[in-house]
Amino acid sequence: MLTKLLSERYQVVQVLSQGMFCKTYMAKDTHLPNRPACVVKHFLPSSEVSIPVEIRRRLFSRETQALQKLGDYDLVPHLLSYFEDEQEFYLVQKFIEGHTLSTELQPGYRWSQSKVVQLLREVLEILNFVHSHGLIHRDVKPSNIIRRSQDNRLVLIDFGAVKPILTQLVKDQKNLVPIEQSTIAIGTPGYMPSEQQRGRPRPNSDIYALGIIAIQALTGLHPTQLPEDRKTGEIIWQHLAEVNVELTAVINKMVSYHFQDRYKSAKEVLEALVPLINLYTQINDKDATLLSKVCQSTLSAYHSNSVVSNTISVPFLEKPTSNHETSVIPKKSPLILGLVIGVVSGLILMIVSYWSVQIISPEPNMQNSLPKPRDINH
């Protein structure tokens, strides 16, 4: 971990990720009050990538301009700064507090269809914005989607400049050559479509990756565990999930093996999802209304029982009093109520028992035991 301040400002406190083309740090901005957290990305480290500094600088400048196109869009990390430090290049982005989607996609756990539709809707809106600015994410996966703590919204992260750079140039044994002539694979296995594996990603390569995440959520299986049709290369997954025909059709088109068969844009997928979005919105509204009615009925029953209880208990507990009198026994004390009822019941039981004994066993008549007068011997 770095011990010095980067650009005499950013203090690295934690390594978030480390790879050949990019190292990511959690840092503190020492120039601002309260030293807020930020994310610093070390762009093409010279210790890992043997590209001349002039070329790295030019590509770094090109990529910062591309990332600045995203502006202040709330659902992607905001680019705060970028700088060069001892011929090393760094990007500074806003830190987003939350947890990644990979923590929610646990093995064996299946999402509901409505939750998957909401996932698709949120991420497709982000991809539509990104693609409209001429950028392709190239690494859409659960660990690059954060559920933001403050509002529970999904945020797409890791727009590291590595991905666009590697679509421009790669290093062969002698020269730097266009990537179109290479076969380098950029992305994450399981979420990467065939054209991206050949080094030729397109905007609907991101759509493919999102469709794979939807299948992962519906089946509870990692993409590498999903079977494929050997002849067509298409993923076989429907038998592993409970999903309706409409959502199945949308997802299958998102993850078609050939990019020509997929949706051409994120906007096109959103339009296809409109009927499902409306359906689940109506269902959620009905559930919310039903829950509200149940809660109101429960509260009404509770208040009614309270009124009946107070009405019954008052005549037994206290005598009518004027407005200036204070009852010795609290009206709403269940402990005292039980005690008084117990005492009264005990007294009644004692009295009833006493009279029962008197009726069943009367006192003996003493006169019957005396001798009659005629039997006396004079």
State the CATH number of the domain containing residue 23.
3.30.200.20
pLDDT in tens, the chain (378 residues): 567 899 999 999 999 888 777 888 999 999 999 999 999 999 888 888 888 899 888 878 877 887 788 887 899 888 899 999 999 999 999 999 999 999 999 999 999 999 999 999 999 999 999 999 888 888 899 999 999 999 999 999 887 533 443 444 444 444 444 444 443 456 788 999 999 888 888 999 999 999 999 999 999 999 999 999 999 999 999 999 999 999 999 999 999 999 999 999 999 999 999 999 998 887 765 655 655 555 565 555 555 555 444 544 444 444 444 444 434 344 445 566 666 677 667 777 776 665 555 544 444 444 444 444 444 444
72 is catalytic: no
Question: Who contacts 375 (Cβ-Cβ below 8 Å, separation ≥6)?
Answer: none
Amino acid 65: pLDDT: 81
Listed residue (134, 145, 255, 253) closest to 194, CA to CA = 255
Amino acid 159: pLDDT: 73
Amino acid 246: pLDDT: 95
Active-site hit among 29, 72, 85, 139: 139
- For residues 129 and 179, membership in a common domain is answered with yes
- What number of CA atoms fall less than 13 Å from residue 10's CA on the CB side? 27
What is the rounded distance in angstroms from the CA atom of residue 22 to the CA atom of residue 157? 14
Amino acid 328: pLDDT: 38
- For residues 264 and 129, membership in a common domain is answered with yes
What is the rounded distance in angstroms from the CA atom of residue 299 to the CA atom of residue 295? 6
For residue 101, count other CB atoms closer than 10 A to its CB. 20
Residue 200: which domain range? Answer: 98-290
Number of domains in the chain: 2
Residue that terminates a domain, selected from 290, 317, 350:
290
| Domain assignment present for 304 | no
- For residues 112 and 13, membership in a common domain is answered with no
